[in-house]
Amino acid sequence: MMTTTQIERQTTARRPQTVKVGDGRMAALLLSPTFLVLALVVAYPLLSAFRQSLYRSQSGLDDDGFVVTGDVFVGLGNYVNIFTGTEAGRFYNALWNTTFFTFTTVGLEVIIGVAFAVAMNRAFRGRALLRASILIPWAIPTAVSGLLWRWIFQADGVVNSITGVEVLWTAEGFAAQAAVIVAEVWKTAPFIGLLVLAGMQIIPGEIYEAAKLDGANAWRQFIGITLPLVRPALLVAVLFRMLDALRMFDLPFVLIGPRKSSVETLSILAWDESNQLNYGTASAFSIILLIYVAVIAYAFIKILGADIVEAKARRATPKKKATR
Amino acid sequence: MKQRRPVRRALSGITLLTAAALSLTACSSAGQAEKADVSLTDRGPISYVSSPDASGAAQQSIDAWNDTHPDEQVSWIELPLDADQQRQQMAQNAQVKGSTYTILNLDVVWTSEFAANRWITELPKDVIAIDDAIPATIAAASYRDTLYAAPYYTDGALLYSRTDLLTAAGVNSPPETWAQLEEACTAVLALPEAADMSCYAGQFDKNEGLTVNFSEAVNSANGSLFDAEGTPTVDTPEALTALNFLVDGFASGMIPQAAITYQEEQGRQAFQDGNLVFLRNWPYVYASFNATDGSSSVQSKFATSPIPGENGPGVSTLGGRNIAISSFAENKATALEFITFFTGRDQQSDRLELSSRAPVFSEFFADETVTERLPYLPDLLTSLEKAQPRPTVVNYGATTAAIQNEIYAALTGVKTPEAALADLQVALSDITSN
Amino acid sequence: MTDTLQRPRFSERMLPPDPVRKPRKRGWGAASLVLAITAISVYCLAPFFWMLVSSFRRTSDIFETTILPTTWSIESYRQALDGSSMFGRAMLNSLLVAGTTTVLALVFAIFASYTLARLNFRFKSAVLAIIIATSMFPGISVVVPLLQFFSDIGWINTYQSMIVPNLSFALPLAIWILTTFMRQIPVDLEQAAMIDGCTKWQAFRLVLLPLAAPGVFTTAILTFIQSWNEFIIALSMVNDPAVQTATVAVSKFTGATDFQSPYGVQMAAGVLVTIPLIIVVLLFQRRIVEGLTAGGTK
């Protein structure tokens, strides 16, 4: 097994220079629109943020009371300050909140999303209705749904009036975190549900037929067939949900409010700094967040999803060669 | 070895992209070092940038101007209702030095910051009618004794009281001091019909409202957040008295626990539903309380008065809006003329028909045709005559954030009042010193 | 592997299960399914129900917690659709922006993912990594540099100032999904088609694309909704009410005064924005899936 893989790798690695020159050019052509758009919209802001993060705006006022203009180059000063300065505690708190929210919400979303997908895939009557109701949370604009949830959770809101207990959800503490998690999971579990459903739809029906002949019950079929085959779709869904959750901003902001330490995320911190015109620090936060997201995504792909980037493509190549 | 060539190729690609992007960066930062434009010259079309206005009053004024100025039309750029988003859009526009925005409708607390950053232009004092306006509104439109904006409308705090319950409890006049407020609370809450009620609320969520309520309390205890030189003074006995009034209020149950989540609207709702005896709020809630469509359970059972203080009537902070000219705009001569028109006496008078926003000229507060419709105006004027602007510091964003952090911590019991104020003093000193 | 008979059969099983076919399971399985569906629907719909109910309350009793409004009112809808807010126009703008974004994103992403799934070239992983990396930068940090850039090239108040950023937010997800789906489809089928005389393009159009249809359709929904709900770019790049999108229009709704959030109107707007979206998705899903798979069954 090892050897074949190695052979495959070598052949695929060597081939472009010899037989497949055309593919490289074709690939460049087909990928160019995408890279053009991404370069236009993301590359420039990213580099500009990186540059900005190395500067600090002059502080202080001149004799006439005007803010002294011009930026001072501080190198990594903004970063050092974030990690060790007086506000470092706030940064670590936000880092923890961001991580905590990401893992709890994405974890719950996977469970609920897969349940959605299973139900959508199996329901026959009322299937359209089910699909519609699952889409609704995802379709409501975040600004509106944040407001809706704020209001459901407010002191005299409907949650407290149903439970009969006055919990101050929108204040601070675990209740606030719980409110954010409930609203976030509600809003984005459909995302995972839809993608997993799509993954289920391309599973050939006869695989199930065969399993049924072997006497596998529904649960065994789910574990043995469905889950492994939807795994790539699920991993992509989870990966992108993680990217989004790590940058979570609107929901805690609208639902609980800015500067509440129990729900403050890194994005909110970046917003707050830029709101106070500390553009250097704000950019540094964005770069740190970018790196943190990249590290987590890399770890995720390495641990769980190597095959979504590599293996399948390799499997396809030798067969292709065989038919030639 | 095998790997190397492709890697280099990719690297060269990335380098190219980087170079392109960096050259973009260079281009955009090339137009630095422009001078602040002090002369208000040039005429032509301009834009008025503001929050939306449901009353239609601003639109009426703009239409009136456009009818007579065909070559200097004003177009209205509406920003979102949310004040943070308005400020963010204006700050973004200033950052890119955009000329799209001509006239800015600013919250009074942003004025110093916009002036100190040279985002707005100095206005000539002889053109704006500063003598007719309530002095506090002019102070809030100025930065270091220079006028940067014209007051548009103003706002102040009122105490709303349940007169029916006060009368039933034998309290004859609304409280003027905190001690009277607490006595009245005890008396009213002893009534059987007030069994499920709480006594007092303001705005205590971690929000601008908390800064307002705290600074009012400090001013009402004869303290101040900053002295005349701009040095913070929150580690004083007066500030501690003020903070203790709020902290003890929560502890004793005079202020309901839920009030820690109250912004303006939640408090309004609680009072309107008959759950509060006293409420500190802005004049805008008057119309909701007085609604006769059955939505208000306090209709004709409430009255307004100036807010109470430590030893006598308290001191309101000043709310409201100013109108200023963006430094990066074109056609500033037209803009100045429009501002004098827009904030002038005639337009203010016309707008009173449509809008319940308080005018900035004191003469209207005594006008009977106006007070008949807006009966709280005399109380508001009393409140405004003593009103203190919120801290007029350049970095208002950081200042209000620091106040909210520390005071919220004290109200939620995370810190003792003494510790919160000591920390606040340090935080504010940091902000103002650099 | 070579026979043409295999293709129809393979495509057929890709079709969504026939609605008239009976459920495979009966008895407790069916009951638990009904239970699960009910639970899921309630979870998804309860907050939406609250939004719907609230949109029919009067502004003055918007904070009521009764199950149904004590006094029904369409005041909020009238206010939302009142001419001055140009909400109808804003919905059309949203449709235009989100629709264009979706179409372009699908075209670009199908190109890119076909390349990544089927062609041989170096740095495949690097390409995928760079593409996903652009999804890691906080959206709020993109706004100011883009505003500067679009101001310089005169794109303020244009549709492309919203479409291009939306496209860049949508592409990474779209490419990753489609690449994953295309890789799961065995390459033999296309090869069989090519042996039958199909060109590479026909094999792609008639075999691969139909088989990837569920993925394409899901990508379309996700992209469309994401773009439909985008706010901060649309707010910053456009100040002309004739070009603004629905989310921006919603943010400009007012209550009677500055402090009063127009909850009722916003809820009504939320309903107005969401319902057509759901209807469109439900109508299109069958057609799109059928349209794409139709190619495969011929």
**Chain B positions with Cβ closer than 8 Å to C:** 6, 10, 24, 27-28, 51-55, 77-83, 85, 89, 92, 95-96, 98, 100, 264-265, 268-269, 282, 284, 287-288, 291, 293-296, 356-357
Residue A78 counted as domain residue: no
- Dihedral, CA of residue B260, residue A261, residue A176 and residue C139, to nearest 10: 120
- Model confidence pLDDT, tens digit, residues A84-95: 888 888 899 999
**Does C147 contact B at CB distance below 8 Å?**
yes
Q: Are A272 and A286 in contact (CB under 8 A)?
A: no
Q: Does residue A227 carry a pLDDT above 70?
A: yes
How does residue B28 score in pLDDT terms, banded at 50, 70 and 90? Answer: very low
Helices (H) and strands (E) in chain C, counts: 14, 0
Q: How far apart are CA C277 and CA C44, in angstroms?
A: 16
How does residue A275 score in pLDDT terms, banded at 50, 70 and 90? Answer: confident
CATH number at residue A208: 1.10.3720.10
Q: How far apart are CA B303 and CA C293, in angstroms?
A: 71
Which of C58, C248, C261 lies at the smallest CB-CB distance from B265?
C261
Q: Which residues, 6+ apart, have CB-to-CB distance to A22 below 8 Å?
A: none
Q: What are phi and psi of B59, to 5 degrees?
A: -60, -40
Could you give the angle at which helices A2-18 and A311-323 cross, rounded to 10 degrees?
70
For chain B, what are the domain ranges? 46-156+319-385, 158-317+395-433
Q: What is the pLDDT of residue B186?
A: 92
- Model confidence pLDDT, tens digit, residues A38-92: 998 888 888 888 998 998 877 777 777 788 877 888 888 889 988 988 888 889 9
**Does A64 contact B at CB distance below 8 Å?**
yes
Residue A295 counted as domain residue: yes
Q: What is the pLDDT of residue C25?
A: 46
Q: What is the pLDDT of residue B12?
A: 44
- Model confidence pLDDT, tens digit, residues B286-330: 888 888 877 788 989 999 999 999 998 888 988 899 999 999 999
Average pLDDT over chain B, rounded to an integer: 85
Q: Are B257 and B330 in contact (CB under 8 A)?
A: no
Q: What is the pLDDT of residue A116?
A: 87
Task: Nearest chain C residue to A232 by CA: give it.
Answer: C180
- Model confidence pLDDT, tens digit, residues C235-251: 999 988 899 999 888 88
| B contacts of C123 (beta carbons < 8 Å) | 6, 10
| A contacts of C171 (beta carbons < 8 Å) | 34, 37-38
CATH 1.10.10.10 fits C6-18+81-297, yes or no: no
**Does C252 contact A at CB distance below 8 Å?**
no
Q: How far apart are CA A198 and CA C218, in angstroms?
A: 7
- Model confidence pLDDT, tens digit, residues B94-147: 988 888 999 999 999 899 989 998 999 999 988 887 888 888 899 889 988 899
Token pair listed for B278? 């006293």
Q: What percent of chain B has pLDDT over 70?
A: 91
Q: Which fold has domain B158-317+395-433?
A: D-Maltodextrin-Binding Protein; domain 2 (3.40.190)
Q: Which of C71, C143, C259, C266 to mutate to test the interface with B (most CBs of B within 10 A)?
A: C259
Residue A175 counted as domain residue: yes
CB interface of A with B, residues 119-178, below 8 Å:
154-156, 166, 168-172
Q: Which of A201, A266, A269 to mutate to test the interface with C (most CBs of C within 10 A)?
A: A201
More confident of the two residues B289 and B31: B289
Displacement of CA B76 from its chain's centroid (Å) = 22
Architecture field, domain B46-156+319-385: 3-Layer(aba) Sandwich (3.40)
Token pair listed for A152? 């459901």
Question: Would strands B103-107 and B319-325 be described as parallel, antiparallel, or unpaired?
Answer: antiparallel
Q: What is the pLDDT of residue B333?
A: 92
CA angle C287, C289, C294 (to 5 degrees): 90
Q: What is the pLDDT of residue C11?
A: 38
- Fold equal for B46-156+319-385 and B158-317+395-433: yes
| C contacts of B294 (beta carbons < 8 Å) | 71
Residue A237 counted as domain residue: yes
How far does the CA of residue B205 sit from the closest CA of chain A (Å)? Answer: 7
Q: What is the pLDDT of residue B201?
A: 95
All residue ranges of chain C with pLDDT < 70 are 1-29, 83-85, 256-258, 285-298
- Model confidence pLDDT, tens digit, residues B145-198: 899 999 998 989 999 999 999 999 988 889 999 999 999 999 999 999 888 899
Q: Does residue B25 carry a pLDDT above 90?
A: no
Q: 3-class SS at B177?
A: strand
More confident of the two residues B331 and B27: B331
**Does C91 contact A at CB distance below 8 Å?**
no
Question: Would strands B74-78 and A55-57 be described as parallel, antiparallel, or unpaired?
Answer: unpaired
Q: What is the pLDDT of residue B402?
A: 92
Q: What is the pLDDT of residue B385?
A: 84
How does residue A22 score in pLDDT terms, banded at 50, 70 and 90? Answer: low
Mean pLDDT to the nearest integer, A298-316: 64
Q: What is the pLDDT of residue A310?
A: 54
Strand order, beta sheet including B276-281:
B198-201, B276-281, B158-162, B302-305
In terms of residue numbers, what domain contains A105? 95-265+291-323
Question: Would strands B276-281 and B198-201 be described as parallel, antiparallel, or unpaired?
Answer: parallel
How does residue B4 score in pLDDT terms, banded at 50, 70 and 90? Answer: very low
For chain C, what are the domain ranges? 6-18+81-297
